[in-house]
Amino acid sequence: MAQKKLSIRIDGQLISAEEGQTILQAAKANGKYIPTLCALDGLTPVGACRVCLVEVSGVDRLFPACTTPIQEGMSVTTNSPRLTRYRRMSVELLLVERNHTCAVCVSNGHCELQSMATALGVNTVGFAYNYPKLSVDMSHPRFVLDHNRCILCTRCVRVCAELEGAHVWDVTSRGIHARIVSELNEKWGQATSCTNCGKCVQACPTGALAEKGWAVEEMVKKIGTVTSLVHRRGVQV
Amino acid sequence: MKKVKVATAWLDGCSGCHMSLLDMDAAIISLGRKIDIVYGPLVDAQEFPEDVDVTLVEGAISSQDDLSRIQKMRQRTKILISLGDCAVNGNVPAMRNSIPVSKLLQRVYVDGSEERKLIPTDRVPALLKQARPLREFVKVDFWLPGCPPPAKAILGLITDLLEGRKPEPTQPVKFG
Amino acid sequence: MPRIQDIGAFNTVREAGLAKLVPAVPRLTVGMGTCGRGNGAEGLYHAFAQAIESSGADIALVPVGCFGACFQEPLVSVRLPGKPLVILRRVQANDADRILEDLEAGRLSPDLIYCKIEEWDHLTGHVRYGEGYPEVPAWNEVPFFKGQKKTVLRNCGILNPDDIEEYIAIGGYQALYKVLIDGHPEAVIEQIKAAKLRGRGGAGYLTGNKWEFLAKAKAEPKYIICNADEGDPGAYMNRNEIESDPHSLLEGMIIGGHVMGATEGIVYVRAEYPLAVHRLNRAIEQAREYGMLGENILGRGFKFDIALVEGAGAFVCGEETALIASLEGEAGRPRPRPPFPAQKGLWGKPTNINNVETWYNIAPIVMRGPAWFAETGSPKSSGTKVFSLVGKVKNTGLVEMPLGTTLKTFIYDIGEGATGGREVKAIQTGGPSGGCIPREMFDTPVDYENLAQLGSIMGSGGMVVMDEDNCMVDVARYFIEFTHSESCGKCIPCRVGLNKCLRILNHLTEGAGAPRHLDLLDELSRYIRDCSLCGLGQTAPNPVLTTLRHFRSEFEDHILARRCTAGVCEDLALSPCENSCPLHMNIPRFLQLYKEGRLEEAFLSVILDNPLPSSTGRVCQHPCDSRCRRQTLDQSVNMREVHRFIADAIFESDKYEGIVKTLLARKLEPTGRKIAVVGAGPGGLTAAFYLALLGHDVTVYDSKPEAGGMLRFALPEYRLPKTMLRREIELIERMGVKFEFNTRLGADLAFSDLDDHFDTILLSIGTWKESRVELPGTELKGVFGALNFLEAAAAGQDVALGRRVAIIGGGNAAIDSARTALRKGAEVTVFYRRERKDMPAIEEETTAAKDEGATFMFLAAPHRLIGDAAGKVRAIEIVKTRLGAYDTSGRRKPVSTNEIQRFDCDSVILAVGEGVDVEFAKDSGVTLKESGTIEANRFTLETSRPKFYAGGDVVTGASNVSGAMGLGKQAARRIDRQLMEAERWSILFPDFEYEQTPPDEPSLSRRHSGRALVAAVRVRSQDEVVNSLTHEEALDEACRCLRCDAKAVDVS
């Protein structure tokens, strides 16, 4: 059955989109760019990173494009001074939260957080750095988990649970102490449910999850392999 | 025309930013007609002069000495620029920040040393608890991240300032 | 008990319940909510039970919940057959025997009586207890309950929560029966909609609409949930409601289940509420047993059950999507909406969630109709709301008021204002997600929209009252600390934003704040509010945003002056006394030095902090006294009298010359800068003293023939002997200060002269202009202004007062005038339009005036003065006032009545306030404020004219000696820094070495005060009334100091 079509406006341009699509999906299908960090095609959107917030005319609140379904006649603004300010703020806060030492990171030059900072013109941060003490889990034979680079987007959690079906990853603790754990806080290398498929590594937007054996700048994520897998399997979300 | 007085400084960094500064090839010659480098690792001056127009600072603030130097530079400079990641966000020097200073010194000078296992006390400035970026101590006017920032970007920034423009990077600069 | 299946069985149970509620024998209840238990209700209950058992008396002893007046716990109610229910308060276990004796004798225990209930409207039913006891106030006549309307709390504290039969007795489950019999669920939804009931959890969404969504949802099964995850610090409405009346909740939910087509209800309650969990479980069991839950409810074929789930205590689980995640066994983290729970809720099925209180309103709406419900409250917010009123008010507890009631009704009428003579500063509504509202806005009606407009929220109903001892920066920090630790960590704004917010606020309270932090905080807070995923993050910055908006000056104090006026931020104060002293005297230091027998050093410490220690030792308003922590043991240390003693002792001894030499030796090298100080009052003298010590060339100008200002020309000799003051001024002169008298700025001295001859000028002029009063007859002979009168008296001039003197006013000038007139042999009556406790005069002075024979007439405002043919005043007519509504200062406004009284008198002294005569400043380039004072920067004291500073009453309006001196001191410091471009202030003060550990055990000595002369004797002379302490007494006082300044040293 053909989906019902809805008419909406994105940045003033009238477009036609399918009912049930989110603002992000509708925008993408029509070649409109909305920045994202936690969203990944094919995974359940969680609305956690807030960089995809957009304005909807007539409403004061901001809406996450990744989870908000479109409505007939909706007029969406994807860019405004306020949105840019807020997106910068999110990126700045991520940069001070943990230790993103780009210069010595395997993902330097191929990192979504780094390129978003560049795109938003972030050349300094107005807050004091936290410099927390965080561990690096090297126990897995092929992969490494570096909490210093993690932005808690939970793509790894979702790709593992929803695509691989292993659900190795989850989030433990609250607030600023929240962090990714494998199984019930086992070392990754001891996590028996892990199938070593590496999807989490490819889905990770930063250098938090990486393959072993690469030096600085050498880890290039093959995010396309994850998303194409989604489409091949026709996973519905 | 009076030449613009430019100082450079090397705090807790690897001198890579200064290398990048020298890496601007022929452009440095024409630049040299417009500016005087009055202080820094590239020249002989021992004391940071009064009334400097522009100071480019490489490196994080890691020691008591770094701190007093940056405060003096701030007092004597019109425009202060954080040059490179260490000065902008702490970068590699800040990787020691979650380790207590005493443990750090022990590891480097005693456990890690083959001979003379001794933590130096004089002629080595006392370390601060953490290495931190410039702006957490003094007002900074412009930032140029990168490890190191590309020579072109440095040249662009200085040129903008010389020509009285608010520096706007022509190409995106990135951390790392 | 067989399940009730028809109306006959229902009525039988109802009769049985009524026989328990209104028995033919005496009934005795004990309030056994958590609040009652915390105050010893369990022991009390046991004491009653034992006594009844041993005496064999026929008395029904019943545990009930809480009646709301938590500050009066434990509450007990007694009822003799046919008589009203009488509530007793603060009953202790050892009162049990006599209460029972009294009961058996048919008496009440008079000292314990709080109020009575003759009849009670349970809304679902009406109970008549009996009439009588005319001397006992009805429950709604005592201040705490006056105006309260108990809808949600209709059964709390009256019924036994563990007995379903009592609930059925008052019409309980009738609404359910009605709904089941009627068989029109959609009609009930229409009723709820018509009642305009809004969700009581805080967001205020219309309940009827929410119900309709679920009713229309197609999927099966559907769930309804009661959100009892009450997590706000200081809020305990839901706990009390469930503990006191669990069946009203169940009935509301069963009706909701039927109406919305749900088959299962879940109560999600905090595990930290064990008593509520216990009573609710019991109620659920009883409801099943009596046929209200399970299959075929009340024989009407409806199947529904309720389960109770204990939450693990995460604040975020109060958010509905996080609550659902928690019920499903996931970590309590919210999910984005849409989809809303009504579409996709628990286990992916349509779900409705309402707050505890929302459910409590259902049965009354069904029974009494929507019109009845909507007639209470404001147009957009109908009904009542329960608030937990806590913090710095006299009466605390659960308060149920119609929505739209003003904040000041809560604070002043029900709460009866602040405790300990303090002033209420703000109220915080809505828990950690709410905002702080300043007292200027206490007229605001409490409803969803009005609170939102002030940047706050109603939330679940927390109200925390704050007084001047609360630091608003610390309040913001405290709430952010809470939400920060409760953030689930899912979204960036809440997880990292609150973390940064907290770090900045920590900096401010530690004195490490910078001006840029204010804008950063503001921007960050807006970002967190606008960008967070769920309600926790979206509302978490409210405490910061509202305090920044309404209390910005406190933030500025922390950053620019590094001061916390409330004395909460410990890093910013030496000790509470030092912090409250306008001169910031290091009080613990001089006490300790004196204690160690080092009199000269003690004096040096005193004089370098306060150049008029003898005078202020006599007349200061002593704010230190009310802040002293020793008060919690017995009474505050008499700090003022000790520095008076130290100063007097040195001034009178041969050590004085040595001290002068020491001081002169501390004087800095001449700077060559010339400074003029205009005004030789306490503020000007103080500034001159410090500026001279700093090496400047200082000239002080004054229009009077001598220095001292108000101290010299307004304060009576019996309070401050002028010889004392003269010695202090002489010391200031010896520091190099020059004086030019009989020189008036504007007349004898032009601004341009000052500009030409001086580098800096400080304006420190006193408040010599008497306030005008609109009163017929002030032109009559024999009518004096208080300042004129006092000045003439101080100058030794004779003022013909006659025999009877009327004084109008309640400030220090009124009392000084009264006591001066008494010393001239007059009969004195003081008229004041408010009550004695509202008088601004120093309390001890008022008492002394009374002892000396002055008559006081309160609630009396002047109406007119009547003269004779010769134009001489002969009488005063006053109009009696009564106290009206509270104004925003927290005092009741006097309102004139029709009652006019006439008093014959020979003279009248008007003491209705003073101001600055700012005529001189016209066209000077010095900007004036509307209040008639000079505008000066709060921190730098710079005026709008370059080189000109202002400090003292000329900036603040009439204040007091130490206040003016504090500003003089601040001005000296700022002027020196500006002139010398360096911070040289600390060079003036030597390092004193003295003991830094507090006493192991506090001294047992009681507070010493200077002995006063007998009233009858002193009133006949000008002799100083209050004697100095003796050396032993002063030493005792010094030893009483607890040394709050000695901070714990980190030894790690």
- Give the neighbor-by-neighbor strand order of the sheet with B52-58: B35-39, B4-10, B52-58, B77-83, B142-144
Query: Which residues have CB under 8 Å from C985's CB, separation 6+?
Result: C973, C976, C977
**Rounded CA gap, C302 and C671, in Å?**
95
Average pLDDT score over residue span C385-400: 95
User: Taking Cα atoms as reference points, which of C507, C510, C546, C551 lies closest to residue C526?
Assistant: C546
Q: Are B151 and B164 in contact (CB under 8 A)?
A: no
Q: How confident is the model at residue C161, as a pLDDT?
A: 97
Cα gap C761→C755, rounded to integer Å: 8
Nearest to B90 by CA among C746, A128, A69: A128
| Domain residue extents for chain A | 5-79, 99-230
pLDDT band at A236 (very low <50, low <70, confident <90, very high): very low
Confidence of residue C1052 (pLDDT cuts 50, 70, 90): very low
Q: What are phi and psi of A159, to 5 degrees?
A: -65, -35
CA angle C940, C943, C944 (to 5 degrees): 125
Contact B175 A132 (CB under 8 A): no
Burial bucket for residue C657 (CB in 10 Å: 0-12, 13-18, 19+): exposed
CB contact under 8 A, A174 and C485: yes
Cβ(C888)–Cβ(C865) below 8 Å? no
Which residues of A fall within a CB distance of 8 Å from C485? Answer: 174-175
- Identify which of B90, B94, B174 has the shortest CB distance to residue A114: B174
pLDDT at C314 over 70: yes
Give, in order, the Cα–Cα distances in Å from C438 to each of C428, C451, C556, C564, C979: 9, 12, 17, 18, 39
pLDDT in tens, A95-113: 999 999 999 999 999 999 9
What single string gives the DSSP state of each residue in C717-737? TTTS-HHHHHHHHHHHHHTT-
Q: How far apart are CA B83 and CA B135, in angstroms?
A: 12
Q: How far apart are CA C201 and CA C222, in angstroms?
A: 21
pLDDT at C937: 94
pLDDT of C472: 97
Contacts of C315 in chain A (CB under 8 A): none
Instruction: Locate the chain A residue with the closest alpha carbon to C528.
Output: A86
User: Per-residue confidence at A232, pLDDT binned at 50, 70, 90?
Assistant: low
Look at residue B118 in the predicted model and tell me its pLDDT. Answer: 87
CB contact under 8 A, C533 and A50: yes
SS3 of residue A169 by DSSP: strand
Round to whole Å and give the CA distance between B157 and B170.
Answer: 9
The count of other CB atoms within 10 Å of the CB of residue C130 is 17
In this structure, the number of other CB atoms found within 10 A of the CB of residue C527 comes to 23
> Could you tell me which residues are beta bridge partners of residue B8?
B56
Distance separating alpha carbons of residues C914 and C917, to the nearest angstrom: 9
The dotted CATH code for A99-230 is 3.30.70.20
Using the predicted structure, report yes or no on whether residue C1048 has a pLDDT greater than 70: no
Subunits close to C (at least 3 CB pairs below 8 A): A
Task: Identify the pLDDT of residue A190.
Answer: 96
Q: Is the pLDDT of residue A234 over 80?
A: no
pLDDT digits (tens, 9 = 90+) for C550-567: 999 999 999 999 999 999
Asked if the Cβ–Cβ distance from C527 to A68 is below 8 Å, we say no
pLDDT in tens, C694-723: 999 999 999 999 999 999 999 999 999 999
Give me the residues paired with residue C228 across strands: C269
Residues of chain A with Cβ-Cβ distance to C336 below 8 Å are 45-47, 64, 67-68
Residue B167, domain member (yes or no): no
Which pLDDT score is estimated for A224?
80
Task: State the nearest Cα–Cα gap between A136 and chain B, in angstroms.
Answer: 13
Task: For tokens 């005008």, name the residue.
Answer: C772
- Bridge partners of C928, per DSSP, are C934
Q: Does C676 touch chain A (CB under 8 A)?
A: no
What per-residue confidence (pLDDT) applies to C1050? Answer: 54
Interface test with A, best of B86, B89, B134 (most A CBs within 10 A): B89
Q: Which of residues 626-665 of C touch A (CB under 8 A)?
A: none
Q: Which of B91, B143, B144 sits opposite A101 (nearest CB)?
A: B91
Residue of A nearest to C338 (CA): A68
Q: Is residue B153 part of a domain?
A: yes
Cα distance between residue C938 and residue C723, in whole Å: 35
pLDDT per position as a tens digit, A63-96: 999 999 999 999 999 999 999 999 999 999 999 9
How many angstroms separate the CA atoms of C75 and C144, rounded?
A: 14
Report the distance separating Cα C544 and Cα C341, nearest Å.
Answer: 31
**Residues A132-136: contacts with CB within 8 Å, 24+ apart?**
A132/A97, A132/A98, A132/A99, A132/B98, A133/B98, A134/A98, A134/A99, A134/A179, A134/B98
Task: Say what the pLDDT of residue C672 is.
Answer: 95
C341-377 per-position pLDDT tens digit: 999 999 999 999 999 999 999 999 999 999 999 999 9
Q: What is the pLDDT of residue C1044?
A: 93
Name C755's Cβ contacts closer than 8 Å, sequence gap at least 6. C761, C947
CB B88 within 8 A of CB B143: yes
Contact A124 B135 (CB under 8 A): yes
Cα separation, C354 vs A206, in Å, equals 41
Q: Is residue C832 pLDDT above 80, yes or no? A: yes
pLDDT at C495 over 70: yes
Residues whose CB is less than 8 angstroms from the CB of residue C493 and which lie 6 or more positions away in sequence, other chains included: A50, A89, A90, A93, C527, C528, C531, C532, C533, C537
What pLDDT band is residue C932 in, cutting at 50, 70 and 90? confident
Rounded to a whole number, what is the distance in Å from the CA of A113 to chain B's nearest CA? 10
Give the pLDDT of residue C1049.
Answer: 59
Burial of A116-139, coded b for 16+ CB within 10 Å and e otherwise, reads: bbbebebbbbebebbbeeeeebee
* DSSP states along C810-833: -SHHHHHHHHHHHHTT-EEEEE-S
- Region C131-148: what's the mean pLDDT? 94
- Convert the pLDDT of each residue in C640-667 to its tens digit: 999 999 999 999 999 999 999 999 999 9
Q: Does A132 sit within 8 Å of B91, measured CB to CB?
A: no
Contact residues on chain C for A64, CB-CB shorter than 8 A: 336, 533
Contact C468, C623 (CB under 8 A): no
Q: A119: which chain B residues are within 8 Å (Cβ-Cβ)? A: 172
- A146 has pLDDT over 50: yes
Q: What angle do CA C446, C447, C449 make, to 5 degrees?
A: 125
Question: Is C946 in the A-facing interface, judged by CB distances under 8 Å?
Answer: no
Provide the CATH topology of domain A5-79: Ubiquitin-like (UB roll) (3.10.20)
Strands C738-740 and C674-678: unpaired
DSSP C289-352: HTTSSEEEETTTTEEEEEEEEEE---GGGGSHHHHHHHHTTS-S----SSSPTTTS-GGGS-EE
The four Cα atoms C910, C915, C921, C926 give a dihedral, to 10 degrees, of -170
- CA–CA gap between residue C65 and residue C72 (Å, rounded): 14
Domain membership flag for residue B118: no
Q: Cβ of A175 and C335 within 8 Å?
A: no
- Using CA atoms, how far apart are residues C149 and C156, in angstroms rounded to an integer? 13
Interface residue of A93, A113, A179 to substitute, partner C, most C CBs within 10 Å: A93
3-state secondary structure at position C957: coil
Q: Which helix (H) or strand (E) holds C364?
A: helix C362-368
Q: Which domain holds residue B132?
A: 4-98+128-162
- Which pTM does this prediction carry? 0.91
Distance CA C841, CA C809 (A): 10
Q: What is the DSSP letter of C277?
A: H
What would the DSSP string read from start to end of B30-88?
Answer: HHHHHEEEEESTTS---SPPSSEEEEEEESBEEEHHHHHHHHHHHHHEEEEEEESHHHH
Rounded CA gap, B58 and C632, in Å?
57
Query: Per-residue confidence at A2, pLDDT binned at 50, 70, 90?
Result: low
CA-only gyration radius of chain A, Å? 19
Percentage of chain C beyond pLDDT 70 is 99
B106 belongs to a structural domain: no
* Residue of C192, C177, C83 lying closest to C124 (CA atoms): C177
Give the residue from C321, C335, C485, C492 with the most A CB atoms within 10 Å of its CB, the best one to mutate. Answer: C492
**Chain B residue with Cα closest to A132:** B98
One-letter identity of residue C166: E
Range list of H helices, chain A: 23-29, 81-97, 112-119, 155-158, 199-203, 223-233
- Per-residue tens of pLDDT for chain B, all 176 residues: 689 999 999 999 999 999 999 998 889 888 989 999 999 998 988 899 999 999 999 999 999 999 999 999 999 999 999 999 999 999 999 999 999 999 999 999 999 888 888 888 888 889 999 999 999 999 999 999 999 999 999 999 999 999 988 887 666 789 98
Q: Smallest Cβ distance to B176: which of A114, A119, A131?
A: A114
Residue A119, CB-side half-sphere exposure with 13 Å CA sphere? 15
Residues 292-331 of C with CB under 8 A from A: 314, 316, 331
Helix (H, G, I), strand (E, B) or coil at C31: strand
- What tokens does C942 get? 């710079």
Q: Where are the alpha helices (DSSP H) in C513-559?
A: 516-531, 535-539, 542-550, 552-556
| Contact call for residues B158 and B54 (beta carbons, < 8 A) | yes
Which CATH number do you get for residue B59? 3.40.50.700
| Structure-block tokens of residue C471 | 């630091």
Q: What is the mean pLDDT of chain C?
A: 94
List, in order of start, the domains of chain C with CATH numbers.
Answer: 7-164 (3.40.30.10), 173-374 (3.40.50.11540), 384-572 (3.10.20.600), 585-668+984-1052 (no CATH), 673-717+730-768+916-959 (3.50.50.60), 769-914 (3.50.50.60)
Q: Is residue B63 within 8 Å of residue B125, measured between CB atoms?
A: yes
CA distances from C769 to C916, C929, C954 (A): 6, 16, 11
Chain A residues within 8 angstroms (CB to CB) of chain C: 45-50, 53, 61-62, 64, 67-69, 85-86, 89-90, 93-94, 96-97, 126-128, 130, 151-152, 170-171, 173-178
Report how many domains make up chain B.
1
Give the span between the Cα atoms of C641 and B174, in whole angstroms.
Answer: 67
DSSP letter for C198, please.
B
* Residue C1 pLDDT level (bands cut at 50, 70, 90): low
Q: Which two tokens stand for residue A99?
A: 């230790």
Contact C306, C272 (CB under 8 A): no
